[in-house]
Amino acid sequence: MTKTIRSIAGLARAGLVRPEERSKLDTVASRYAVAVTPILAAAIEHASDPIALQFLPSPDELITTPEERADPIGDSVHEKLPGLIHRYPDRVLLKPIHACAVYCRFCFRRETVGPGARALRKVELENAYDYIRAHPEIWEVILTGGDPLLMSPARLAEIVGALDSISSVRTIRIHTRVPIVDPDRVDDAMVQALRVKTPVWIAVHTNHARELTAPARASLARLADAGLPLVSQTVLLRGVNDDADVLEELFRSLVECRVKPYYMHNPDLAPGTSRFRLPIARGRSLLRSLRGRLSGLAQPTYVLDLPGGHGKVPVGPDYVGPAAEGTIEDPWGRSHAYPPPPDRD
Ligand SMILES: *Cc1c(COP(=O)(O)O)cnc(C)c1O
């Protein structure tokens, strides 16, 4: 296999869908984009393995539940200009393109991303730069989408260069899955496009250690060797990674690849994704079981993005007992007294 598979017929030819599901899957594919890169297609071992579950469409995507919404985290509430989302004072999202190398079946932007969705026009990008210049409190610009690393190195260099020339922008961040799912795109020209005087941080999205193939690790190494700091984001997904051993292996592998686990997201309320969701209590107990057995470098923050555009909040386990008790729990669940500060009155 040398080309990305983008249709149910293509998946059928590769033996990745069951014939009796094809008509339902055609309906799914007409609603939500499908793309599976060769490296992922090759990594799929069976229908319920963690790669298959993340990228192969399922008839369950036709089931929507009442709490699901087209814009699960309220991006549109804060969309100041096409492709520019300003929710927090010090940072904006800029979405130059709406296509991805692969389409995750749990994507929270599944209603807006896809090969048919249009990229920002030159004038729209210029307007976004003007907005950023006019708001010097914007300290960080986060390129996301769509996957920004799907752009050609020349286009990427143009955008990164434009942001680099805005003196109030002190950090650029790029959210991407490309280094993992289409690692050959991270070539010298792309790395060169990211080497500007403003620090460029790369946030890679990955959910299972099986995604970290040898070529994926090599592409992460190219980015790290170029001096680009790397962090990761993972979505907690039922059946994919809701297991302490699986998360431990993923987070350890990331640190070994010089990637600091940053966020573990609770899955958003995107349409047709209920099969992936699990109770917050489950995520808390998984992370609790990793504390005390896994390096602090490998511990992400468990966050949830509130519906309606109200922002991300940490929802991870906490260890502080009720104030009156003055106790703290250790990683193994035993309670210990911790003295309050001396009374100063
Ligand atoms: C997630 C997000 C950010 C980035 O949040 P961090 O906590 O800094 O990673 C910024 N703006 C919007 C609209 C977001 O959804």
Give the pLDDT confidence score for residue 323 in this predicted structure: 83
CB neighbours (10 Å) of residue 309? 16
DSSP category for residue 210: G
pLDDT in single tens digits along all 345 residues of the chain = 689 999 999 999 999 999 999 999 999 999 999 999 999 999 999 999 999 999 999 999 999 999 999 999 999 999 999 999 999 999 999 999 999 999 999 999 999 999 878 899 999 999 999 999 999 999 999 999 899 999 999 999 999 999 999 999 999 999 999 999 999 999 999 999 999 999 999 999 999 999 999 999 999 999 999 999 999 999 999 999 999 999 999 999 999 999 999 999 999 999 999 999 999 999 999 999 999 999 999 999 999 999 999 999 999 999 999 888 899 999 999 999 998 888 887
All structural domains of the chain, each given as residue ranges with its CATH number in brackets, are 71-314 (3.20.20.70)
Q: Let me know if 109 is a catalytic residue.
A: yes
The closest-lying atom of ligand 1 relative to the alpha carbon of residue 78 is 13
Q: Report the distance separating Cα 150 and Cα 232, nearest Å.
A: 18
Contacts of 303 (CB under 8 A, 6+ apart): 263, 264, 265, 266, 312, 313, 314, 315, 316
Residues in the chain: 345
How many helices and strands (H and E) does the chain possess?
Answer: 11, 12
> How far is ligand 1, taken at its centre, from the CA of residue 175, in Å?
11
> How far is ligand 1, taken at its centre, from the CA of residue 27, in Å?
32
DSSP category for residue 47: T
Pick the closest to residue 199 from 149, 139, 263 (CA basis): 139
Q: Let me know if 318 is a catalytic residue.
A: no
* Probe target for ligand 1 pocket from 80, 92, 93, 265, with the most ligand atoms within 8 Å of CB: 93
Q: Report the distance separating Cα 102 and Cα 5, nearest Å.
A: 9
Answer whether 213's CB lies under 8 Å from 37's CB: no
Contacts of 167 (CB under 8 A, 6+ apart): none
Element (H, E) at 134: helix 122-134
Which of the following is catalytic: 32, 71, 87, 210?
87
Give the pLDDT confidence score for residue 1 in this predicted structure: 66
Q: Report the distance separating Cα 121 and Cα 143, nearest Å.
A: 15
Q: Let me know if 257 is a catalytic residue.
A: no
Give the pLDDT confidence score for residue 60 in this predicted structure: 97
Q: Which one-letter amino acid corresponds to residue 274?
A: S
What pTM does this model have?
Answer: 0.96
Give the pLDDT confidence score for residue 340 in this predicted structure: 86
* Probe target for ligand 1 pocket from 71, 88, 265, with the most ligand atoms within 8 Å of CB: 88
Q: Is the peptide bond before 146 cis (omega within 30 degrees of 0)?
A: yes
